[in-house]
A and B are shown apart, each in its own frame.
Chain A
């Protein structure tokens, strides 16, 4: 960053290229999936495309900002991040502020845009957990003093998101927390006990209300429940089958013509499959795999626990959303209403995804810079003379 290294950005080009290609591909697919709906609903074929383009532009600015914003500063803002998250989640539940769609209150309107606070809470919880567990590395195998305290916050956030209700997002947060706890070095026994408990609680919650139970039975027997709970999945299957291996061709989807609900949002992957077949789906999974691979590699290479856990959390969150979304689209998992990162239409989703990618790239830059500097050190510079070293060792 300074001196002779000034011009060097240490960017992981694999990661950035994958993100960029996937996002542009997503924009094209959103246009393809939504122009008919845009025309019918708003008299404008590019209605959804235009909005997504603006969000993508703003998100890119955010990505660039977070790419250069040193991640270690987050540890100084933990309280602010936690209070902010909590406030947003409470605010969205307040009558008159929260914005209700499909019986769920997930949005607040800020300056004309609808923001989904739970999306932002996902990233703030990752930062929080990564921070706490990196600080507790010395006694992470202790249950009460080490592992448990941040999980109480996680459960609180989980409960607040559940009240919207948004079981999918809430579950993804708990899952990421659990995976981070596991990665941070917690004992297997603790992890599996807690995991079992959380699993039971979520299962119990999911099956306790008839409408949530219907999602599960609708997923298991979609053809028998095609009239209601199986409808979306059947339409998704039809889209995938219509495209077949070769795909129907870009723009040629029939299912997007008001058969498949949420064609440009949660079920955009079905449209990708319908129009582009195995090539399209393979392309998406290839890029996603690149991001997961490069992302986890960042975490593995990062030399401080906070950065590692933060990188993991970001990738896990991304991967879990992809699993939940793709699994819902192809019928391996029940429908949870989680968008596909980079592809699904939706401002908050792309914004948070890009912010987290910005943070991930920032960690990668830091790590790469350290690596190169270390390599240089072995040749010329002594390790402990690196000024950055003092930065993250500063807590002693």
Chain B
């Protein structure tokens, strides 16, 4: 008979009961321990969970923009796009056919199909398409999207962009495309203002990286960078850049410098250099120096303006007093006038200024003014210190005063070195009744969130080196430098305005030690001009370093070209009316176009040409005028083109070189031909060729360009006779 139940079963069951209840107590305690301590293996679980749950997403802010005085954009942040291609066929959307995709992309991107195919055929999950696939604009992105290629995606990265390309480049400087680092110019100097502060949002997320619905968010607001408004006037700056390009092409100088400033306020309206650069392609920068503020050099005769002003102020200048020009022996040195030391015999000091006589200025300082006085005035005009303009890396002047002869040569601008901006600053004193204005280029900094002006610069008179009367007299004399027959400034005259100014032709020290460079064009040709002379509004300083010129060419051609164009356009943009009292005879009159059809061709042409019109005759054999453009009754102005079609049976195509598009269209209307124009500016090429019979041709083509604006046959043809007849411009001899 079997045992019904062993007593061990009960005892051992009791053992397990106790054991399991004990284990349950242990397990429970472990839970309570973790719940209470929130710590396991020295790991703080509370901070761990906060870390694991919280997600921080960056909130992007924009870098501030740089604007001109009217709010034109000079530097901005724009969206840009980079392509990437998914190649892995594990994705639904991938590049299935690299060859045809590359072919299609090459139509939009700046890369050939085989290069792109190389990228698209790589053994990778995804690829970028090299430089050609970066920095695309929105239009390019749209174009590519419309190709509807599989596996092509875009990443958006904002970038810095300079819409005007090469434009006050050394002033603005640049920030790297991705805006990580500001490298140069105002971009760098005002980086603290311009720089954005990216914000962030911290929130709790679930295990699939999605924000939790009800959880709190901690938002650190992004802050856009402040906007910077400059005193630059884009139109004036554009005039500088265009003229400089032209001069750069024609004369290939080592350097060009130009500063345009408001005479009354010291605001810089334009500033540029050559060599310059396109800040959108900052990899290609050759020249990092803004010569206008960072380059001090022996300025040459422009400095005479200030020696003169000082002498007038201190009463030692007598315009009518006479001196023997040519050469002057003083302190073991011989000073020569620039016409090989010949001089002009005994002349007045006034004429000495007009002719830019070195001897005259040497004598003025040594015999009449005293070198101490001169140095004092140079100090007062601010030539010893940097001007303090709000641009980086400004250089100061270096006034030579070690040897007695230094004073002599400094009097006429040699020996001592100053910067263009110092001369412009000093010129404000001449232009502004003796009040010297602080030059500045940042008008205001505006907080882009609050629109508050965090910085606002106001015009500030920083010194008064000379009296108002002295300033006025100096201006009167400097005006004669440009207007007098013997004035060296004549090439800088502008029709309709009185210009006061001083030319300079500075010698350049040999880099390899003593002496100065010799040879044609191995000078810095400069001009410091102010207009209108009576009450100056604009100061323009131009310097052309070592232009390539022919033997018979004047070194002033390049500097006068820049000065006249820049000054003329600046005055126009600032709405300064031409001076009625100006000696310039070219007062343009409007008149009504008469009806000349049926009149004698020859007589009509002569009559129009006498009145200053450009007349083009189509059909030279014809004796009578058949048709005309502009139509009778239209207002016409001297200098305009007038087209006359004669009764010639076989009219020929006129030479339209230099014509504006308007005139070309006028011709088209007259001849009932269709006109097709390529480019902007003035005509340089045409079909049919000049002199060819027009016959049945129903269409004409013209290519226009801005570059050769100055060609002989240009519209504003005002016969350059005066400018070419210049005196010998070698101001200095060794």
Q: Is the CB of B206 within 8 A of A254?
A: yes
Q: Is the CB of B52 within 8 A of A240?
A: no
Q: Which residues of chain A have C-beta atoms less than 8 A from B23's C-beta?
A: 319, 323
Interface of A is mostly: helix
The answer to the question of B48 belonging to the interface, with a C-beta cut-off of 8 Å to chain A, is yes
Known: A182-B12, A312-B13, A330-B30. A259 touches B20 (CB 8 A): no
Q: How far is the CA of A259 from the CA of B45 in the complex (A)?
A: 14
Known: A304-B5, A323-B27. A259 touches B35 (CB 8 A): no
Known: A179-B16, A223-B43, A322-B24. A245 touches B36 (CB 8 A): yes
Interface centre among B10, B30, B35 (most CB of A within 10 A): B35
Q: Which residues of chain A have C-beta atoms less than 8 A from B204's C-beta?
A: 254
Interface residues on A, range: 35 or more
A223, A258, A299, A392: the one contacting B207 at CB < 8 Å is A258
Q: How far is the CA of A288 from the CA of B26 in the complex (A)?
A: 14
A241, A278, A299, A323: the one contacting B49 at CB < 8 Å is A241
Known: A240-B34, A241-B46, A273-B31. A140 touches B16 (CB 8 A): no
Known: A183-B12, A185-B8. A278 touches B24 (CB 8 A): no
Convert A231-266 into 0s and 1s, putting 1 for each residue whose CB lies closer than 8 angstroms to a CB of B: 000100110111111000000001001111000000
Q: Is the CB of A308 within 8 A of B13?
A: yes
The answer to the question of A327 belonging to the interface, with a C-beta cut-off of 8 Å to chain B, is yes
Known: A288-B24, A331-B40. A396 touches B1 (CB 8 A): yes
The answer to the question of A289 belonging to the interface, with a C-beta cut-off of 8 Å to chain B, is yes
Q: Which residues of chain A have C-beta atoms less than 8 A from B30's C-beta?
A: 330-332
Interface centre among B26, B27, B204 (most CB of A within 10 A): B27
Convert B194-211 into 0s and 1s, putting 1 for each residue whose CB lies closer than 8 angstroms to a CB of A: 000000000010111000
Q: How far is the CA of A135 from the CA of B5 in the complex (A)?
A: 10
The answer to the question of B451 belonging to the interface, with a C-beta cut-off of 8 Å to chain A, is no
**A309's closest neighbor in chain B, by CB?**
B9
A254, A282, A292, A323: the one contacting B17 at CB < 8 Å is A292
The answer to the question of A79 belonging to the interface, with a C-beta cut-off of 8 Å to chain B, is no
Q: Is the CB of B6 within 8 A of A278?
A: no
Q: Is the CB of A308 within 8 A of B10?
A: yes
Q: Which residues of chain B have C-beta atoms less than 8 A from A244's C-beta?
A: 35-36, 38
Q: Which residues of chain B have C-beta atoms less than 8 A from A300's C-beta?
A: 9-10, 13-14, 17
Would you give the shortest CB distance from B252 to chain A, in whole angstroms? 65
Would you give the shortest CB distance from A298 to chain B, in whole angstroms? 9
Q: Is the CB of A242 within 8 A of B27?
A: no
Q: How far is the CA of A304 from the CA of B52 in the complex (A)?
A: 56
Q: Is the CB of A285 within 8 A of B27?
A: yes
Q: Which residues of chain A have C-beta atoms less than 8 A from B26's C-beta?
A: 332
Q: Which residues of chain A have C-beta atoms less than 8 A from B697's C-beta?
A: none
**B31's closest neighbor in chain A, by CB?**
A281
Q: Which residues of chain B have C-beta atoms less than 8 A from A393's C-beta?
A: 4
**B23's closest neighbor in chain A, by CB?**
A323
The answer to the question of A214 belonging to the interface, with a C-beta cut-off of 8 Å to chain B, is no
Q: Which residues of chain A have C-beta atoms less than 8 A from B35's C-beta?
A: 240-241, 243-245, 273, 277-278, 281
Q: Which residues of chain B have C-beta atoms less than 8 A from A243's C-beta?
A: 35
Known: A237-B45, A238-B49, A285-B24. A137 touches B36 (CB 8 A): no
The answer to the question of A316 belonging to the interface, with a C-beta cut-off of 8 Å to chain B, is yes
The answer to the question of A326 belonging to the interface, with a C-beta cut-off of 8 Å to chain B, is yes
Known: A238-B49, A258-B207, A308-B13. A330 touches B1 (CB 8 A): no
Q: Which residues of chain A have C-beta atoms less than 8 A from B207's C-beta?
A: 257-260
Interface centre among A222, A234, A260 (most CB of B within 10 A): A234
Q: How far is the CA of A278 from the CA of B38 in the complex (A)?
A: 13
Q: How far is the CA of A182 from the CA of B15 in the complex (A)?
A: 11
Q: How far is the CA of A259 from the CA of B8 in the complex (A)?
A: 48
Q: Which residues of chain B have C-beta atoms less than 8 A from A63's C-beta?
A: none
The answer to the question of A305 belonging to the interface, with a C-beta cut-off of 8 Å to chain B, is yes
The answer to the question of A296 belonging to the interface, with a C-beta cut-off of 8 Å to chain B, is yes
**A233's closest neighbor in chain B, by CB?**
B40
B25, B27, B53: the one contacting A330 at CB < 8 Å is B27
A234, A254, A278, A289: the one contacting B32 at CB < 8 Å is A278
Q: Which residues of chain B have C-beta atoms less than 8 A from A315's C-beta?
A: 20
Q: Is the CB of A289 within 8 A of B27?
A: no
B1, B16, B39, B52: the one contacting A296 at CB < 8 Å is B16
Would you give the shortest CB distance from B218 to chain A, in whole angstroms? 17
The answer to the question of B333 belonging to the interface, with a C-beta cut-off of 8 Å to chain A, is no
Within 8 A of B (CB), among A171-225: 179, 182-185, 221-223
The answer to the question of B21 belonging to the interface, with a C-beta cut-off of 8 Å to chain A, is yes
Q: How far is the CA of A285 from the CA of B26 in the complex (A)?
A: 11
The answer to the question of A371 belonging to the interface, with a C-beta cut-off of 8 Å to chain B, is no
The 6 closest A-B pairs by CB, nearest first: A258-B207, A241-B45, A257-B206, A259-B207, A296-B17, A241-B38
User: What are 5 pairs between A and B in contact, CB < 8 Å?
Assistant: A254-B206, A257-B212, A300-B10, A396-B1, A396-B2
Binding site for A on B (CB under 8 A): 1-6, 8-10, 12-14, 16-17, 20-21, 23-28, 30-32, 34-36, 38-41, 43, 45-46, 48-49, 52-53, 204, 206-208, 212
